[in-house]
């Protein structure tokens, strides 16, 4: 009877150790997944900050270029008229560039819109800015 009780106790202990090891492995796997998710979220947040800083810098650069260069301002106005026709109403924007309107149509060639479109054209190539060299 004592041998049988010891055997049962040993079997219960072995099973408990197996279950404990399985639980520990599952817990470690969950922790790895959470750590990877946290790292990915931090990386995305950092990328967003870099992109926002880049967008701000590009916008400021376009504003400066339009403020300093009369030819650039003329080119933007000409582009607006080319897009909507000679009767389009072209209005200078405060931050540089123009908007233009004709019946049923509008074009935004403000400094910020021009900068944003330039960045959009980069597409996924913008990601090379924060990838390791």
Cα Rg, the chain, nearest whole Å: 31
| Mean pLDDT (the chain, rounded) | 90
Query: For residue 104, is it left (φ>0), alpha (ψ between -120 and 50) or beta?
Result: left
Q: Which residues contact 65 (CB under 8 A, 6 or more apart)?
A: 72
**Residue of higher predicted confidence among 28 and 5:** 28
Q: Is the pLDDT of residue 115 over 80?
A: yes
Q: Which residues contact 89 (CB under 8 A, 6 or more apart)?
A: 100, 101, 102
Mean pLDDT of 103-109: 96
Please count the structural domains in the chain: 1
In this prediction, residue 47 carries a pLDDT of 85
Per the structure, the complete domain to which residue 116 belongs is given by 2-129
**Residue of higher predicted confidence among 71 and 47:** 71
Instruction: Give Cα 40 to chain centroid, integer Å.
Output: 12
Mean pLDDT of 107-132: 87
Predicted confidence band of residue 130 (pLDDT cuts 50, 70, 90): low
Mean pLDDT of 6-31: 86
Q: How many CB atoms lie within 10 A of CB 118?
A: 14
**In terms of residues, how long is the chain?**
133
Q: Are 106 and 89 in contact (CB under 8 A)?
A: no
Whole-number Å distance between alpha carbons of 2 and 110: 90
In this prediction, residue 133 carries a pLDDT of 63
pTM value is: 0.71
């Amino acid at each position: 009877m004592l041998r049988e009780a010891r055997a049962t106790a040993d079997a219960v202990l072995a099973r408990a150790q197996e279950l404990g090891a399985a639980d520990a492995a599952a817990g470690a796997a969950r922790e790895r997944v959470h750590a990877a998710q946290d790292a990915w979220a931090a990386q995305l947040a950092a990328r967003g900050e870099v992109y926002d800083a880049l967008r701000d810098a590009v916008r400021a650069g376009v504003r400066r270029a339009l403020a300093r260069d009369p030819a650039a301002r003329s080119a933007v106005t000409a582009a607006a008229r080319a897009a909507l026709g000679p009767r389009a109403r072209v209005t200078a924007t405060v931050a540089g560039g123009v908007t233009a309107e004709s019946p049923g149509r509008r074009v935004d060639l403000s400094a910020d819109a021009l900068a944003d479109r330039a960045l959009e054209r980069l597409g996924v190539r913008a990601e090379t800015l924060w990838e390791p060299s």
